[in-house]
Structure 1
Amino acid sequence: MVSESLNKIFRLLALAAVFSLTIACSDDIFDVPVGERITPDEHYQTLEDAIASLYGTLSGLQDVAPDLILLDGLRSDQMNITPNAGSDIAALYNQEFRADNPYLDYSGLYRVIINVNEVLANIERAEGKDRDFKPNYLFDMRANLYGLRAWCYLTITRLYGEAVVIDDNLTSLPEDLSSMTPMSKADVIDKLISQFNNDSVIYDQDTVSRARDQAYFVGFPNYKAVLGELYLEKQDYENAIYYLKLGLETAPAIAGDEAYKVDASYDEDAWESIFLNAENAILENMLVIPYSINQKQVNTMVELMLPNRLFMVKPSQVLVDSMEAQVTTRRDSADVYRGMGVTYDTISAGNYFIKKYDIDEAQPYSSDIVLQRAGDLHLLLAEALNRNGQSDVALMFLNNGISGVSLSKRPAGFSAFSKNRGIRNRVLLQNREIPDSVTGNERVEMIEDLILQEKAMECAFEGKRMSDLIRVAERRDNPGEYIGNIIAAKYDSSMSEYVKQFYMNKENWYLPFH
């Protein structure tokens, strides 16, 4: 039972969570960069002001998110182009990365970072002026802002292999980021992990119950899970497991303990509801970028994907074939709940288009973009478990989940996941199995391949594929061959050979940081 003061902030957070209400999406807040209208001293007067500023930091991602989806799909094996494609989009598909290509612009992510810095520098002003602003609220806000900033830096390093790290007290964007000396991906990750730990943003391991009661902010990246992703990139699997699992156990009080557990909330036909008014699907979604054509917030990606619009990109045949090859537990010969009519559809026989951002056909330009959600994090957790010697548990999360295992065989430490259905079982797909004769590293790599194949379907066109391939390739004996063969599969024979050779050079895994 939470106190009345906590009830008040949770009501505020509920407003912020759905974005379409006044705190997050009003013309006065979501459309305007933080601090632009009035000075910080004038602005930070109340708890409501602080929450408004908190959510204002996300506004820059409305411009960034569509480009992230396109960059990932065109560079990986998930998207092909149509004859309508413009030269900039065609260049990405052909693995050509010119400095003047607008899709390679990273400044939008840095603007979000700058906005985060500005709020962090000033948010304490409101704490001292509003008696409803409790110290733990400030902790929670700071933690979510750290999580958003770390997510931005991690995204930059996944794209470019390096990043310029801006001083935390810098609240305006440097004139020429490209002239500053970037840090390597590994060094950026180490810095972010150190920053989380040194600033005590994450609760101690013995206070998980308190973490569940915190004022976690719906709509932000789950900062504990972001830390887990940082450790996964470092190949520190034990810490990756701990923080990914903790992130999935830490739900906002307005959602309840069932949140983020991949239970029956979005099973079978309900799976597509994850993306229908995604900001409201708080049992699954964490970082959601909302759009509303009525508020002049347009998802520009839709124009490029729909056949009655510009129609420049489409799903690759590799992805379609993978989903069509699935078999359900009822013996349906396709991925019924995630495939045709949901992730993609047809104009005519064999002529596909991307459907995922047109589930709400009445308002396609208002389709939200989900950048972090439970299905994604469960598969990252399975990846870490598999590499940490817990392959059987990894297969549980991939297949039938914890609820599908007898009580005597359930793994220790996962009691919060008692209703977990598993990624494949949630959409009634048959289990993936590895023969008992396959052991050792061969078994680990086979399971890892199955996890990545599943994630390519589960998170299709969500901007995950390229970073997944790069992360896994770095563990393999022939990394260039591994990643090159997968991406090359979507091209015709002449281009396929070029792509295989292109990715043999590790420098080509990343975009140029101009």
Structure 2
Amino acid sequence: MKKRNGFIGIGKMMALALGLGLLFSCDDFFDPSQDLIQEKGDHYNTLDKVRRATIGSYAKLQDLVEGLVVMGDLRADLMTVTRNYDPFLLQLDRHQTLSEDNPYADPRPYYDVILNCNDVLTNIEKAKVDPKMTDDVMNMYIAEVKTLRAWVYFQLIQTYKTVPVVKEALDGEVPGYEPREYGESDMINWLLSEMKWAEEQAVPDWKLIDGDGKEISQPWHLTRVSRKALYGELLLYAGDYQTAAEKLRACIAEQEGNYLKVSNLSGGLNWRSYWDRVTLEGGSALEHLTTIPFSKSNHQTNGLLEIFSNETPGKYLLRPTVGSVKYWDGKKADGSLYRDFFRGLGSSYMVLEGDTVVVKYLNNKNNFLDDAVYPIYRAADIHLLFAEAINRLGRSEEALAVINSEIDGIQDVDGIRGRVGLDPIDILDLADLHPEVKTNMELVEYALLDERARELAFEGRRWNDLMRFAKRANRPEWLAERVASKYRVSNPELADELETKLGSEDNWKLTMPRIKEGQ
């Protein structure tokens, strides 16, 4: 994790981000060898420069990965600190007051991306002097950049109580500049309006073409934030379950070839391959919808190696909790044992030299994958979000079928559990496991939350999942009890404190850090 010297005033911070990063873009995540510095005056006078600036904005997502994983999983129930922890990680793990310089809660990498997007949106019309920049092509790029910016702001509003929103380019330092602060409701409404406009553009969700009408290469379309996926997730977050279900189903059904089918066609019985096949071909190409890639040969280092590996140069700072392991190995309601062979031991985690190690981003030698990928959206996530939406529409049996085996009317779908050879679960199984629950909808909510843990552990989703499910069901104890479980045996007093604190929704989100200039 890059250590930054405090979070200064937002106007100064944005000017610094602009100066340090805005004029740098990369044509391809895997090929940074070209001349990347452009003169500000002619930065946007051709379609090609707009394209490079757009892809350059995506390249900055690499700086977000460590924070996404740590903030998304360490505060929840599936991950905890090791004997090697640093104080910044312990603050997050135990929900303590964060120090002003905690690097994992630093919002500046997010604003680096936002400011790049704003600069493109502000200046893109300069490219009209290029005959290739037609109105349709311009709208395509505007939709692309607005989608990326919306995704970044969505991550911020799920973490912080209020978020400063900047929609314009900032050219140089703006003394005293203080943008409007958006709370959750205002932010979600604005992002929904942005995505509604982007969705209305006539460009297929999985393609981006250049000015000659040629589709940009495959690695690029697997890097772009999917409009339908983001729009569907925002609608789900906002409680518009009908439209969310429509958008998420379209995301699943309308991809070319066999994309997003959650089937054995995508290598489900070799689930580990989604991280090994780093060229995004074969199984991983069928699973990944939006991915942040890294290239070891081009010295693009993903800090997850340092965090998870217990072999040099790793520092082994975080590990799976005892409770997380039980999601893959446990007892059914009838007392019989089961094991999730494909997603658990050997895939999501391993025991190496006595340590329990997250290995989703490591190879079997405990080293970082040669060309690693971090998924923003992948097939299983979209299927489970779709099941979540239709369950809230009262279609609980259909939602359970998505977990088990199928989506009605879509071919080549084996279900989240079916594609990895697990027995289906039914309402009666769930009722036996949760005798206190009285409705099918709530039973399936439990099943969805558990299945997301098995499928998406250590991908930075868990904390936001717990908040979303608990808030929607008006059951804050769902979140509080799960997080407290990390310390229920080893430190019961701390577990009680966490359960009490997190029993109030007011303590779920953070206040964005502010530090006086010069610190």
TM-score, normalisation: structure 2: 0.81
- Report the equivalent of 1:470: 467
| Of 68-77 and 217-226, the range deviating more from structure 2 | 217-226
- Report the equivalent of 1:225: 229
Partners of 2:243 and 2:353 lie apart in 1 by 48
Partners of 2:145 and 2:351 lie apart in 1 by 41
- SS in structure 2 of the partner of residue 474 of structure 1: helix
The answer to whether the Cα contact below 8 Å between 1:278 and 1:288 also exists between their aligned partners in 2 is: no
**Is 2:478 the partner of 1:482?**
yes
- SS in structure 1 of the partner of residue 290 of structure 2: strand
Q: Which amino acid aligns with 1:122?
A: N
**Is 2:300 the partner of 1:307?**
no
Partners of 2:272 and 2:173 lie apart in 1 by 38
Partners of 1:436 and 1:338 lie apart in 2 by 21
**Is 2:299 the partner of 1:296?**
yes
Partners of 2:482 and 2:416 lie apart in 1 by 22
Larger RCO (CA within 8 A; separation ≥ 6): 2
- SS in structure 1 of the partner of residue 357 of structure 2: strand
The answer to whether the Cα contact below 8 Å between 1:371 and 1:463 also exists between their aligned partners in 2 is: no
Deviations 1:219-267 (A, max 9, x none): 111112111111111111111112222223343xxxx231112122333
- SS in structure 1 of the partner of residue 361 of structure 2: helix
The answer to whether the Cα contact below 8 Å between 2:117 and 2:145 also exists between their aligned partners in 1 is: yes
Q: Which amino acid aligns with 2:192?
A: I
Deviations 1:390-413 (A, max 9, x none): 1122112111113xxxxxxx4xxx
Structure 1, unaligned runs of 5 or more = 1-20, 403-409
Q: 1:171 to 1:371 in 2, by over 3 A?
A: farther
Q: 1:451 to 1:436 in 2, by over 3 A?
A: closer
Partners of 1:71 and 1:312 lie apart in 2 by 14
- Report the equivalent of 2:104: 103
Partners of 1:340 and 1:278 lie apart in 2 by 21
Deviations 1:14-64 (A, max 9, x none): xxxxxxx963332257x96xxx532262554244x3332221101221111
Q: 1:508 to 1:126 in 2, by over 3 A?
A: same
Partners of 1:156 and 1:429 lie apart in 2 by 36
Q: 1:451 to 1:320 in 2, by over 3 A?
A: same
- SS in structure 2 of the partner of residue 221 of structure 1: coil
Q: How many residues align?
A: 461
Partners of 2:180 and 2:134 lie apart in 1 by 40
Partners of 2:422 and 2:129 lie apart in 1 by 54
The answer to whether the Cα contact below 8 Å between 2:27 and 2:56 also exists between their aligned partners in 1 is: no
Partners of 1:321 and 1:110 lie apart in 2 by 38
Q: 1:316 to 1:486 in 2, by over 3 A?
A: same
- SS in structure 2 of the partner of residue 502 of structure 1: helix
Partners of 2:269 and 2:83 lie apart in 1 by 33
The answer to whether the Cα contact below 8 Å between 1:261 and 1:419 also exists between their aligned partners in 2 is: yes
Q: Percent identity?
A: 27
- SS in structure 1 of the partner of residue 439 of structure 2: helix
Q: 1:70 to 1:106 in 2, by over 3 A?
A: same
The answer to whether the Cα contact below 8 Å between 2:267 and 2:273 also exists between their aligned partners in 1 is: no
Listed as ranges, the matches of 1:415-454 within 5 Å are: 415=409, 417-435=410-428, 442-454=439-451
Structure 2, unaligned runs of 5 or more = 1-25, 210-214, 216-220, 514-519
- SS in structure 2 of the partner of residue 340 of structure 1: coil
The answer to whether the Cα contact below 8 Å between 2:66 and 2:304 also exists between their aligned partners in 1 is: yes
The answer to whether the Cα contact below 8 Å between 1:82 and 1:311 also exists between their aligned partners in 2 is: yes
Q: 1:145 to 1:213 in 2, by over 3 A?
A: closer
Shift of 1:87: 1.4
- Report the equivalent of 1:321: 326
Shift of 1:477: 3.6
- Report the equivalent of 1:183: 182
Q: Which amino acid aligns with 2:46?
A: Q
Shift of 1:72: 1.6
Q: Which amino acid aligns with 2:415?
A: G
The answer to whether the Cα contact below 8 Å between 1:323 and 1:339 also exists between their aligned partners in 2 is: yes
Q: Which amino acid aligns with 1:193?
A: L
Partners of 2:103 and 2:176 lie apart in 1 by 16
- SS in structure 1 of the partner of residue 29 of structure 2: helix
- Report the equivalent of 1:18: none
Partners of 1:153 and 1:174 lie apart in 2 by 21
**Is 2:262 the partner of 1:266?**
no
- SS in structure 1 of the partner of residue 68 of structure 2: helix
Q: 2:389 aligns with which of 361, 384, 401?
A: 384
The answer to whether the Cα contact below 8 Å between 2:264 and 2:414 also exists between their aligned partners in 1 is: yes
Partners of 1:392 and 1:375 lie apart in 2 by 18
TM-score, normalisation: structure 1: 0.82
Q: 1:176 to 1:340 in 2, by over 3 A?
A: farther
**Is 2:455 the partner of 1:458?**
yes
- Report the equivalent of 1:66: 66
Q: Which amino acid aligns with 1:418?
A: Q
Listed as ranges, the matches of 1:78-477 within 5 Å are: 78-96=78-96, 97-126=98-127, 128-131=129-132, 135-170=135-170, 180-197=179-196, 200-203=197-200, 215=209, 217-251=221-255, 256-278=256-278, 280=280, 281-308=284-311, 309-325=314-330, 333-348=338-353, 351-359=355-363, 361=365, 363-364=368-369, 366-402=371-407, 410=408, 415=409, 417-435=410-428, 442-477=439-474
Q: 1:116 to 1:485 in 2, by over 3 A?
A: same
- Report the equivalent of 1:5: none
Q: 1:233 to 1:90 in 2, by over 3 A?
A: same
Deviations 1:144-179 (A, max 9, x none): 2111111101100111132111124446686788x6
Q: Which amino acid aligns with 1:282?
A: A
- SS in structure 1 of the partner of residue 376 of structure 2: strand
Partners of 1:213 and 1:462 lie apart in 2 by 25
Q: 1:91 to 1:441 in 2, by over 3 A?
A: same
Q: 1:443 to 1:158 in 2, by over 3 A?
A: same
The answer to whether the Cα contact below 8 Å between 1:76 and 1:487 also exists between their aligned partners in 2 is: yes
Q: 1:172 to 1:153 in 2, by over 3 A?
A: farther
Partners of 1:257 and 1:376 lie apart in 2 by 19
